[in-house]
Every structure is written in C-alpha cells, then in structure tokens.
Chain A
Amino acid sequence: MFLKRQVPLAIVFIVGVIMLLSWFIPHEPFANLEIHATQWFDIIASFAMILGALNLLKLQGRKVIRRQKGWIYSLAAVLGFFVTLTFGFFFKGGYYLEVKDVGVNTEAFYQTVSEVTHTELDVVRRSFADVGEGKVINRNYYTHAGVLKLQNTLSSLGTVVEVNELQWGQHLQERGTFYSWIFYSIFTPLTSTMFALLAFFVASASYRAFKIRNTEATILLAAGIIIMIGRVPLGAYLTSWLPSWLQWLHLPRLQEWIYQYPNAAGARAIMIGIGLGIVGTSLRVILGIEKSFMGEK
C-alpha cells in the first residue's frame, strides 16, 4: 500500500515543486530540467505504447474471431497494423543506383535519368555535370528487379552504375520504400479525408449556431456576418460610399473593432479562467489533495 499510495504522491510533490521552481532558476541543474523531463516522458510514453498496441490487437482480434458487429473494420485495423509493422521492420525496399561512370553517351543518359526521376533535362544535365561520377540517381525502387531493369537500360548506354540499398531507418524517411508508400499513399490521404470532413461539419454547425432563436443567437449571427463580409473586398466595396462621419460603420473597420475588442475581451476572460483552473488543478495534484487520477478516492 505504501508503494502504491505514498510513494507516487511523494514523487508527484517533489517533481512538481522542482519543475515549478526551475522556471525561475536559470542556473544549472535547473536550467534545462523542462527539456530533460519532456524527454523522460517521451521515453516512458514510447514504452507504454506497447501496452496500447497489445490492447488494440486483443480487442480488435477478438472482434474478428467472434465475428462481432463491425468485425470487418477490426480486420482492417489488425491487417493494417501487421502490414505496417512488417514493412517497418522486415521489408524496406528503397533500392537505388549510384553512377560510377556516366560514359560517352551522356545525352542519352541524361534523357533516361530525366524520364525516370521526372526531372527536367536541364536540371539533370547540370546536376551530373557538376558532380560527375559517384552521384546517386534520385529515384528509389521498391524491388531489386525494378532497379535492375534501370541498371540494364543504363548499362546498354555505356554507363557504369552500382545498385545500393537504403539503410534501415532511412527507409522511414525516403520515398520509394514500402513503408513510405503506406504512409504517403494510404495514411496521408485517409488523414486528409478526415480533416476535409471538417468543412462540411463547420457548415452544418454554423447553420445551427446562426439560426435566429433568441437575442444572443441574433447578435452572434449579426457579428458573424459583419466579420465574414468585412474581411473580403466586397465588404469594403459595399460601404465605401459612407460619408466621413459614418466611417466607423465601414465594414472592414467594424469587423476589426468586433474582433479586437468584444471578441478579445471575451477570449481573455476565458483564458484567465482557464489559467486559474490550471493553477488550481496543478496545486491540488502537486499537494496530493486531488488523488483520484491515481485511482485513489
């Protein structure tokens, strides 16, 4: 019980106080404590990810085995997990050619490299003219067979090239590897799709928010319209005829005023509340008054 209750509380108190004071002490060993603490946290979180991964496999795997509702999605999750893991740790791809000697048929060589790397001929010409031999052709191939095909084509032109393979670790960054294919061709479009959904959700949410139900909603609608129109050239055009004594009604000026004063005042009031809430919560946690996050009453 002592190890489960008192020790964690003592650690939270000591670390919390030290971290708090370190912000006011620029001298070593306190100066870079925040950076070190963040790194420790990242390391611990990385190891903890194994727990998460196991939990994911257990629950989704069980769904697939028992053919529970929506098991097909679970199957996609499990397959996605293993395929990514396999290409991350076991099959990397990333074969490329290193030019040892361009040979005499230089124009044909430049032409071929330009085609396979989708680079302008002049750029290729300049690139290989500057460095000469020992330069890498900027195209990675997933398979050995793929790179050999290009090697044969270049060899027939009299160019001497050597087949190389990306190092482990490099395959996570460079294009033309299985892992990067998964990342750029599957993961990124899926993520972008989810993000793009926001546009539709913003439209539906705005419709509800701007519906005139009461005084507050009407004010919100009016402010929203002024801000939206005032920020585009149309707003300036619509109110450009106003006489000088009514210039404060000029839409760009009006929207700026709404944005800078009522909006900023409201936002800052919320920020102060949030700041105080964070201070209060932090104090309760550091002093051990709030212990429920550790599973204690």
Chain B
Amino acid sequence: MEKKGVILILIFLMALALPLHAGLTLNATADREEPEGRKVILTAGEIEQAFRYDVYKKNTHDEDWVFILGLTHLDKPLIMDIENDTPVQFRIVAVDRNEQTIDEVITDPVVTKAMWFNTKRIVRFISMILVSGIILFYIRKARKMQSIYLRPIAGLNAFEEAVGRATEMGKSVLYVPGIMDLDQVETISGVIILGHVAKMTARYEASLNVPVSRSLVMEAAREIVNESYLSEGRPDLFNPDMVHYYTDDQFAFAAAVDGIMLREKPAAVFLQGKFYAESLILAETGNSIGAIQIAGTGSPSQIPFFVTACDYTLIGEEFFAASAYLGQDPKLLGSIKGQDIVKGAIMVTILLGVIFESLGFSFFKAIFNL
C-alpha cells in the first residue's frame, strides 16, 4: 500500500514537472487552402523563461539562416511567405533578457505548391461557362432564326441622322474612339462602331475626322475606315489622314479635340469608347458649338456627364450592342439575344436572393460566396 502511494506521488510530481521541462516546439505546414501556394503556417509552443523568439528561415540548399522577425509571444499561428516548389526550413530561437539562447528548434523542410485550379473561383468559373454557353447557343441558333427583334435604341437610330445632318450642312463628322488603348474592350467596341459610321460617311460623302490618342488605335482605326470605304465602293474618298494621332496624354488630347471642335465646328460628334475626366470637357465643348452629339461608353462614372451634355447616350450594354444593331449580322444579333437571356437569369437570381435572405435562409447567398 505504501509502495503504491509513493509511486502515485512520484507520478504526480513528474506530471507537475513536465511543463517546466517541455522544450520549444515548432511545426511548419504548407497552407493547402491557398490556391496560389506560397503560404506556410507556423505553430509554436512557448516556453516560460523566454523573453523573445527570433524566427529565421532558409532554403535547404542555403548555408545561412535569414532573420525574419522577433516576437514576444507565440500564441498565434504565423503565416509566412515562401517561394513555391522550394523546400524551406524554419527555425525559432528563444532568448532570455540577457540575449542568451535558451532553446531553439528547426522544422523539417516544407514545400508549398500552387493548385492547378483555383477552387475559390469555382462559382465564377461555372458562371463563365454558363454565360458563354448561353451566348454561344444563341449565336448558333441565330443562323436558323429568320429575324431577331431588338428594341429600338434612340441613340443608334440617330447615327444616320447625325451623319445626314453633317452632310446637309457641309460640315465634318468628328469621331473620338476614347482615350485608351486597344487593351480595353470599350476601345475595341468604339473602333468597331467607327467602321459603321465610316460606312455612313462614305455613303453620304461626308467628311470624317478621327483624332486618336494611341498609336495602335490609329492603325486599327485606319484599317477599319479603309475597309468601310472599300465596302461602300468609295475608296476614292478614303484618306489615311482622316485618322490621326495627337498625344497619349489625357488633357492634352482633350485640348487638341476641343481645338478641332472650335475651329472646324463639326455638325456631328461621336464620342464612343473609354473616357475619364475629359468626357465632360469634350461633351460640353461639342454642346457649345451646337453639334449633334452621340456618346457611348462602358465607364459608369462618365455616363451622367454624357447624358447631361449629349443629345443621345448609349448606356453600358447599348454601347456594346451597337455593332450588332448597326450591322444587323444574325450571329452578332444572336449574341445580344444570349446576353438578354443571361440578364433575365441574373434578375431571377437576384429576386431569389432577396426572397431567401428576407425569409432568413442564407444558403443561397452562401453559394455565391464560394
């Protein structure tokens, strides 16, 4: 009985003493939740005597440790950045108030890897497939359909009227395809619409003036205007200098275009593309010379300025639909139809979201947070 008691006391004392002799611990694991890799989670156990913990790292093939940071506590996991596919070791050194090393621990090499698919973007990927699928379906279907109805868009109907007016007045048509380069969809859309306007000016024998602020846009716009004049059977009216470059700078370009407006007083001004703060400067100057102005942009912040200062404004999707509307190509019209179906689906989704959230069910919203 006595022996048993002594053993129990000894076990109890050993259990008490264990924490005092527990050494510094460190565990490094690659963050598998991070699609891009590069993240390592360090979890460490503190020791009582430590005043500070210095954290180091090194690639396994390197000799020297690189100091990363010093900490007074290790109560939270540390997130460390490393390079993918490179084995890295971490080391924590515990020091006391006299800067004497008490303990140190080194982890096994840890390697992070990037995923081959970003699972955090799964909903967006599915949405992209669905949206693209629907649009493609309607593009294919459009070939068999006799006609596709597009609601009348006042701004697009006014294109011909504006060019006609310029012809009657014997004045030029000014077309500005935005101030950005061809890496912007709005610029591409603006250049595409230019092709349709150029066909009209070729038909009406009106003078066309296209100042641009990017050299690449100049080349693309020239090509498309040339093609339009050819397709209308008026290559004799085409002059490469119709499309001309001024400057890449935003306000210098605005000044140059304002100068053209004030000197030449064009009867029709088309502002179609990506615009920033210069939008109102251009539109108000156009307004002051009494030109008929048709603007179109995908920049939401510029739409109010254009609505205020221009006669017609193609708002958002109308601007992107302009090419299909003006060209009446069944395939392009089919894509517009597809877009409208997707828009209907989005409206239904929003409505469902509102209903579920109002009823206190959050699962629907949670799907879109994936």
What is the interface of chain A, defined by CB distance below 8 A to chain B?
20, 23-28, 31, 38, 41, 44-45, 48-53, 55-56, 58-59, 69-70, 73, 190-191, 194-195, 197-198, 201-202, 204-206, 208-209, 267, 270-274, 276-285, 287, 289-290, 292-297
Contact = CB atoms under 8 A, between A and B. Distances in A.
A274 B338 CA distance: 14
Nearest to A194: B251
Contact of B315 (A31, A208, A270, A278): A270
B37 interface: yes
B47 interface: no
Contact of B335 (A44, A208, A283, A292): A283
A89 B195 CA distance: 39
Nearest to B243: A55
A263 to B, nearest CB: 11
A272 B280 CA distance: 24
Contact of B308 (A24, A31, A208, A276): A208
Nearest to B260: A70
Contacts of B48: none
Contacts of B305: 205
Nearest to B299: A274
Contacts of B346: 272, 276
Contacts of B172: none
A31 B195 CA distance: 36
A23 B121 contact: yes
Given A25-B117, A59-B241, A198-B277, A279 B131 contact: yes
A281 B116 contact: no
A284 B343 contact: no
B71 interface: no
Sorted nearest first, the 3 A-B pairs with minimum C-beta distance are A277-B320, A295-B223, A52-B215
Interface string B113-154: 111111001001100100110011001000000000000000
Given A277-B339, A278-B298, A280-B335, A28 B114 contact: yes
A293 B335 contact: no
30 contacts: A24-B118, A31-B114, A41-B181, A45-B181, A50-B215, A51-B218, A52-B214, A55-B241, A55-B245, A56-B245, A59-B244, A191-B251, A198-B280, A198-B281, A201-B284, A205-B283, A205-B308, A205-B309, A206-B308, A208-B308, A273-B318, A274-B300, A276-B317, A281-B188, A283-B135, A290-B323, A293-B220, A293-B224, A294-B224, A295-B223
Given A56-B245, A204-B284, A292-B192, A281 B320 contact: yes
Contact of B298 (A20, A44, A277): A277
Contact of A70 (B139, B185, B246, B263): B263
B272 interface: no
A26 B37 contact: yes
Given A195-B251, A293-B192, 17 more contacts: A25-B118, A26-B114, A27-B116, A31-B36, A52-B245, A55-B244, A55-B245, A194-B255, A206-B308, A271-B300, A272-B343, A274-B316, A274-B320, A279-B131, A280-B336, A284-B332, A292-B224
A31 B246 CA distance: 36
Contact of A289 (B223, B248, B318, B331): B331
A277 B277 contact: no
B185 A281 contact: yes
A285 B254 CA distance: 29
A284 B244 contact: no
Given A49-B248, A194-B281, A277 B319 contact: yes
Nearest to A195: B251
Given A45-B215, A274-B298, A276-B342, A290 B192 contact: yes
B308 A209 contact: yes
A118 B178 CA distance: 43
Contacts of A293: 188, 191-192, 195, 220, 224
Contacts of A20: 128
Contacts of A209: 307-308
Contacts of B332: 284, 289-290
A195 B277 contact: yes
Given A191-B251, A194-B251, A279-B131, A292 B323 contact: yes
A271 B301 CA distance: 10
A9 B338 CA distance: 23
B92 interface: no
B321 interface: yes
